[in-house]
Amino acid sequence: MEEEQRLQPLPEDWTRAMAVAAHPDDLEYGAASAVARWTAQGKEVVYLLATRGEAGIDAMPPEEVGPLREEEERRSAAVVGVQTVEFLDHRDGVVEYGPRLRRDIARAIRRHRPEALITLNHHDTFGGPSFNFADHRWVGLAVLDAAQDAGNRWIFPELRDEGLEPWSGVKMVCVAASPYSTHAVDVTDTFSKGMASLMEHRVYLENLAKGSEPAPLLRQFAQQTGQRLGTELAVGFQVFML
Ligand SMILES: [Zn+2]
């Protein structure tokens, strides 16, 4: 059974990471606890969001929601020691996979020069019966591709015109919430920070359907993953090496 497979400790022999997700709140459903651990170790982590999540609240119009969720994401990031939060301004809900998305991510990789990339599950499902959102699928896939694009001087020559030289220093891409996790991070000491990070999405969480409170679920996942790593609490990642 996939759920019972043992997970390896995620390599931590790096100093700079960039976490890329489609929406404000994506990284806060688990990955943020790992980010809190890494920043506490003195590593630098920057966030890159493809959209502002402006289509995420049914009762409010996008022009109000975008700036509000951007602010919530900045506060979430600060809780786990992340000071740099950037937005690519792709349109929430209809992010398109293609050269533009790959180039925008590759540009950020060349600017920040991370050794590790973190992103959210790009697979069709999270392992359950629900199909994964289009934005998650496309952004996750584009991160995997951009990790290579960033190191190739011929794929996006316009980036060199901007003064951005190729960066082939990305050693691994870590996909959070994948149904095929291979590795995990012990977050026993930083889980509460990850949870506090999620709670900064106040307006978004207030507008979630009643009964879909994320806090108990988040702890349950962390406990299950912890069992597979041999720690109390853990966050799983599917790791692709470059
Ligand atoms: Zn999302």
pLDDT tens per residue, range 28-39: 999 999 999 999
Find the 161 Cα to ligand 1 centroid distance in Å. Answer: 33
- Contact assessment for residue 25 and residue 186, using Cβ atoms and an 8 Å cutoff: no
> Measured in Å, how far apart are the chain's first and last C-alpha atoms?
27
Burial 213-236 (b: 16+ CB within 10 A, else e): ebeeebeebbeebbebbebebbbb
19: DSSP letter? E
| pLDDT higher than 50, residue 59 | yes
Say how many Å lie between the CA of residue 153 and the centre of ligand 1. 31
Q: List the alpha helices (DSSP H) in 41-184.
A: 62-79, 99-112, 134-149, 157-161
> How would DSSP label each residue in 49-81?
ESS--TT--TTS-HHHHHHHHHHHHHHHHHHTT
Each residue's pLDDT tens digit, 40-53? 999 999 999 999 99
Q: How far is the CA of 53 from the centre of ligand 1 (A)?
A: 8
Mean pLDDT of 12-23: 98
| Rounded-to-integer distance, Cα 212 and Cα 198, Å | 14
Model confidence over 98-133: pLDDT tens digits?
999 999 999 999 999 999 999 999 999 999 999 999
What pLDDT score does 157 carry? 97
pLDDT computed for residue 207 by the predictor: 86
Neighbours of 146 (CB within 10 A): 28
Yes or no: say if 80 and 37 are a contact pair by the CB < 8 Å rule. no
Give tens-digit pLDDT for 173-222.
999 999 999 999 999 999 999 999 999 999 889 888 776 788 899 999 99
CATH code of residue 181 = 3.40.50.10320
CA of 160 to the centre of ligand 1 (A): 31
pLDDT at residue 3 tops 80: no
What pLDDT does residue 204 have? Answer: 86
Going from the Cα of 154 to the center of ligand 1, the distance in angstroms, rounded, reads 32
Mean pLDDT of the chain: 96
**Domain count along the chain:** 1
Distance 76 CA to ligand 1 centre (A): 15
Domain that holds residue 213: 2-241
Ligand 1 centre to CA of 95 (Å) is: 11
What Rg value do the Cα atoms of the chain yield, rounded? 17
Task: Average the pLDDT over each of 1-5, 20-24, 128-132 and give the range with the smallest value.
Answer: 1-5
Q: How far, in Å, CA of 155 to CA of 75, rounded?
A: 35
* DSSP run (H or E) holding 36: helix 31-40
For residue 1, is pLDDT > 60? no
pLDDT digits (tens, 9 = 90+) for 142-153: 999 999 999 999
CB atoms within 5 A of ion ligand 1 belong to 23, 26
Whole-model pTM above 0.85?
A: yes
